[in-house]
């Protein structure tokens, strides 16, 4: 009778299964190690992108002057009175030369009672020029006045003559087309 050899066969199968399992575990560990390095790298990249965006936003923003009277300005005088009848006064001055005066009172216009406001502001522009504005806000809208506010150029004489002619000669029966004045 031949001796039983099953244990050696089982041992070789066991060894091959064990080495295959070890190989799979090793492959799985390599994949997990790769994924961990990948996620660590992606996290680092995300953090760097966020830091770069924050730095760009901070350094790209307009910077206020660090010194000078504007930064350290304080209110030196202030008056604020609000009355029950709708009248008010709001005045203030600052240590860097800004001045604001404003008053308002209700005014009966048709069936409404809007508050009519008038006031003045003055300050020193960055180029050193003194800027003054006076204004009225009433039923005709906001009407500022100041030397620094641009004005429209004068109307050319040709256009002015045409406008005068149009006003003097209402539309005639020529299909709604008026004739311009003769030149010269």
pLDDT tens-digit profile, the chain (184 residues): 555 555 555 666 666 767 777 777 777 777 677 767 777 777 776 767 777 776 666 555 554 454 456 788 898 999 999 888 888 899 999 988 899 999 989 888 888 888 889 999 999 888 888 999 999 988 888 889 988 888 888 889 999 998 888 888 876 545 555 566 667 6
What is the predicted pLDDT for the residue at 12? Answer: 67
Q: How many helices and strands in the chain, by DSSP H and E?
A: 2, 6
Q: Which residues of 83-107 are buried (b: 16+ CB within 10 A; e: fewer)?
A: eeeeeeebbebbeeebebbbebeee
What is the predicted pLDDT for the residue at 49? Answer: 72
Q: Which helix (H) or strand (E) holds 5?
A: none
What is the predicted pLDDT for the residue at 91? Answer: 93
**What's the 3-state SS for 12-63?**
HHHHHHHHHHHHHHHHHHHHHHHHHHHHHHHHHHHHHHHHHHHHHHHHHCCC
| DSSP letter string, 134-156 | EEEEETTEEEEE-TTS--PPPPP
């Amino acid at each position: 009778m031949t001796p039983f050899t099953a244990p050696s066969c089982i041992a070789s199968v066991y060894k091959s299964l064990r080495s295959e399992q070890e190989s799979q575990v090793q492959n799985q560990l390599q994949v997990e190690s790769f994924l961990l390095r990948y996620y660590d790298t992606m996290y680092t990249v995300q953090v760097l992108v966020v830091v770069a965006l924050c730095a760009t936003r901070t350094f790209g923003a307009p910077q206020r002057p660090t010194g000078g009277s504007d930064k350290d300005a304080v209110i030196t005088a202030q008056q604020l009175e609000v009355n029950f009848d709708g009248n008010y006064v709001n005045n203030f001055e600052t240590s860097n030369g800004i001045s604001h005066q404003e008053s308002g009172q209700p005014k009966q216009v048709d069936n409404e009672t809007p508050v009519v406001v008038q006031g003045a502001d003055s300050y020193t522009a960055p180029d050193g020029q003194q800027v003054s504005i006076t204004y009225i806000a009433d039923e005709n809208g906001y009407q500022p006045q100041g030397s620094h506010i641009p004005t429209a150029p004068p109307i050319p004489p040709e256009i002015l003559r045409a406008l005068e002619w149009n006003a003097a000669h209402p539309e005639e029966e020529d299909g709604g087309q008026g004739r311009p004045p003769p030149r010269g």
